[in-house]
């Protein structure tokens, strides 16, 4: 597998973007979990455990093959901590062999120079690291002090795009530290984004006045990129709701370590269907139905995918769907629903 260059990454991104606008019949972004275990235990996080084993490589490759058969564009590997999976490079290589874009979300602890170079070799396209504070505390050990050496390794060796996400909101002791983290990301040549800590359902928690100010300052930094398509958060930060059409379960899929498809990491178990049994019919149902959690959802990646279809295909409630069409939803029924709106 050839290494990813900036030009090839750009052209593949353009190709998949055109495909996403041209057709609604495939997932644009999939988050897949190869292991739930993590080396850290951040108190606000509900996406890890300390004991589970990595998913067997043959099972992971079968799941990736199924996602490729769906025509998926981008596969992002998350966790837990995915860099702890012993065959992480083989997983990335399989994604790239199918022509899909390969991403990784990590806590940043495992980026020694030799590992960064190996990620280059298998063609990783992008990496996101969330850093919560400047110095580790009881809430999080994902601190700039601990990770700065790893960030330097990435700045020196990585041929893939790196984004540093800092956070504001409940549990973060000093919002000013998010500004320090964002400044360091820009200094190292990385893109920088800001996230808002959510509750266990992925919904917004209230922000203080200073947290709102810090959020806006960080948003003004750095270069523009798709990762910064997060204007939905502006209304949420100011205490409002954001009206949008969530396409989770269709254009965005979350596949956990058990191979179960869910709306997202915070709504695990819905629809709760194994990936290997998931069908285009399931995607059509989830594409056309509203999600109860959408108005105050803070899950940035799901919102970003939703932007692609914001201008088309109004949704109906799940109750209306069940009452009018039962469990089956074929193409003709979808067309009738849309024409009636």
Q: What percent of the chain is modeled with pLDDT above 70?
A: 83
Over residues 206-218, the mean pLDDT reads 76
How many Å apart are CA 276 and CA 67, to the nearest integer?
9
Answer yes or no: is pLDDT of 227 > 50.
Answer: no
| Residue reference for tokens 């769906």 | 70
| CATH numbers and ranges of domains, the chain | 6-307 (3.20.20.70)
Residue 318: which residues within 8 A CB-CB, separation 6 or more? 289, 290
pTM: 0.86
DSSP run (H or E) holding 76:
strand 74-77
Higher-pLDDT residue of 30, 198: 30
Query: What digits encode the pLDDT tens for the residues 59-104?
Result: 999 999 999 999 999 999 999 999 999 999 999 999 999 999 999 9
Tokens of residue 255, six digits:
């596949």
Query: What digits encode the pLDDT tens for the residues 115-129?
Result: 999 999 999 999 999
* Angle, alpha carbons 171-215-188 (nearest 5°): 95
Q: Given pLDDT bands bounded at 50, 70 and 90, which one contains residue 7?
A: confident
Higher-pLDDT residue of 255, 135: 255
Answer yes or no: is pLDDT of 185 > 60.
Answer: yes
Residue 327: which residues within 8 A CB-CB, separation 6 or more? none
Query: Residue 92: its pLDDT value, please?
Result: 98
- Angle, helices 331-340/318-325, rounded to nearest 10 degrees: 120
């Amino acid at each position: 597998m050839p290494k990813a260059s900036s030009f090839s990454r750009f052209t593949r991104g353009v190709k998949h973007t055109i495909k996403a606008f041209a057709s609604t019949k495939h997932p644009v972004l999939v988050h897949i979990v190869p292991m739930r275990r993590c080396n850290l235990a951040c108190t606000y996080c509900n996406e890890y455990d300390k004991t589970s084993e990595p998913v067997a490589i043959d099972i992971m490759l079968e799941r990736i093959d199924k996602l490729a058969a769906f025509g998926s564009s981008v596969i992002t590997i998350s966790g837990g901590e995915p860099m702890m999976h012993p065959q992480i490079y083989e997983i990335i290589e399989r994604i790239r062999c199918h022509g899909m874009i390969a991403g990784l979300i990590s806590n940043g602890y495992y980026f020694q120079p030799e590992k960064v170079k190996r990620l280059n070799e298998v063609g990783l396209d992008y990496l996101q690291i969330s850093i919560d504070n400047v110095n580790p505390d009881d809430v999080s050990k994902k601190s700039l002090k601990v990770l700065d050496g790893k960030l330097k390794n990435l700045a020196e060796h990585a041929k893939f795009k790196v984004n540093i996400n800092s956070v504001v909101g409940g549990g973060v002791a000093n919002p000013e530290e998010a500004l320090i983290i964002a400044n360091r990301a820009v200094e190292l040549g990385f893109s920088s984004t800001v996230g808002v800590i959510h509750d266990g359902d992925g919904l917004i928690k209230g922000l203080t006045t200073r947290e709102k100010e810090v959020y806006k300052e960080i948003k003004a930094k750095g270069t523009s990129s798709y990762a910064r398509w997060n204007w939905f958060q502006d209304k949420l930060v100011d205490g409002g709701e954001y009206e949008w059409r969530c396409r989770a379960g269709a254009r965005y899929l979350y596949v956990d370590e058990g191979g179960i498809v869910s709306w997202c990491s915070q709504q695990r178990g819905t629809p709760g269907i194994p990936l290997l049994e998931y069908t285009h019919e399931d995607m059509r149902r989830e594409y056309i139905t509203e999600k109860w959690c959408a108005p105050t959802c803070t899950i940035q990646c799901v919102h970003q995918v939703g932007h692609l279809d914001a201008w088309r295909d109004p949704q109906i409630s799940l109750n209306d769907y069940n009452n009018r069409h039962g469990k089956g939803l074929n193409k003709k029924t979808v067309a009738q629903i849309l024409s009636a709106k």
